[in-house]
Amino acid sequence: MKHTLTALFALAATPALAASKNPFSADFWHLNNTDMIVLISFLIFVGILLKFKVPSMLMGMLDKRSVGIKADIEEAKSLREEAQTLLASYERKQREVQEQADRIVANAKDEASRAAEQAKADIKTSVARRLASAEDQIASAKSAAIRDVRNQAATVAVAAAQDVIAKQTTAADANKLIDDAIAEVGAKLH
């Protein structure tokens, strides 16, 4: 109450003194003086405000407002802490996912290099098999060619021998050879 009276006197004195005559003169205290009427109206207005407890209502509203602001600040702090916790969680999850992705890439590279090495080994084996098969085919073709050449040479030799024998043998020599051959076959069969 003491502070409100001090504030009231300070407010009441200021407008009256700032624009009027000397408040200590007799002319100031007459009702035909507008400054006096303004001062009285102002004091009545302040009195009505105090009677209806408007300053305490304003203070209550301001206190409620400050409590609401404090609650909002506390809620904002808790939301901030929750957001920081979520951020840390997401950053941790992101690191884990990145590490997992790095492991997957490394495994894929290792698997690809192993597959490449296996493919190289398979190609070497396939090439060696094909070379061996080609060498076998070459050897087979060579032996077939040699056999064909020998058969052809034998055929040519037999034909040449036949021609030579036919030219050199007479009918009597041929009959004697036939008889000798029949006797030899008969001796072998019996």
Q: Are residues 80 and 102 in the same domain?
A: yes
Q: Are residues 63 and 140 in the same domain?
A: yes
Residue 179 belongs to some domain of the structure: no
CA dist., res. 58 & res. 79, Å (int)? 31
**The pLDDT value given to residue 29:** 73
Residue 110 belongs to some domain of the structure: yes
- Which secondary structure element, helix H or strand E, spans residue 153, and what is its range? helix 54-168
Residue with tokens 């702090």: 77
Residue span of the structural domain in which 70 resides: 56-165
Positions in the chain short of pLDDT 70 = 1-23, 25, 190
**The pLDDT value given to residue 23:** 66
Q: Are residues 1 and 60 in the same domain?
A: no
Q: Are residues 124 and 80 in the same domain?
A: yes
Q: Are 23 and 15 in contact (CB under 8 A)?
A: no
Residue 67 belongs to some domain of the structure: yes
Q: Are residues 41 and 83 in the same domain?
A: no
Q: How many domains in the chain?
A: 2
**The pLDDT value given to residue 149:** 86
CB atoms within 10 A of CB 15: 13
23: which DSSP letter? T
Burial 134-169 (b: 16+ CB within 10 A, else e): eeeeeeeeeeeeeeeeeeeeeeeeeeeeeeeeeeee
**The pLDDT value given to residue 16:** 47
Q: Are residues 22 and 113 in the same domain?
A: no
Q: What is the pLDDT of residues 24-61, one digit of tens each?
A: 767 777 777 788 888 889 999 999 988 998 888 999 99
**The pLDDT value given to residue 79:** 96
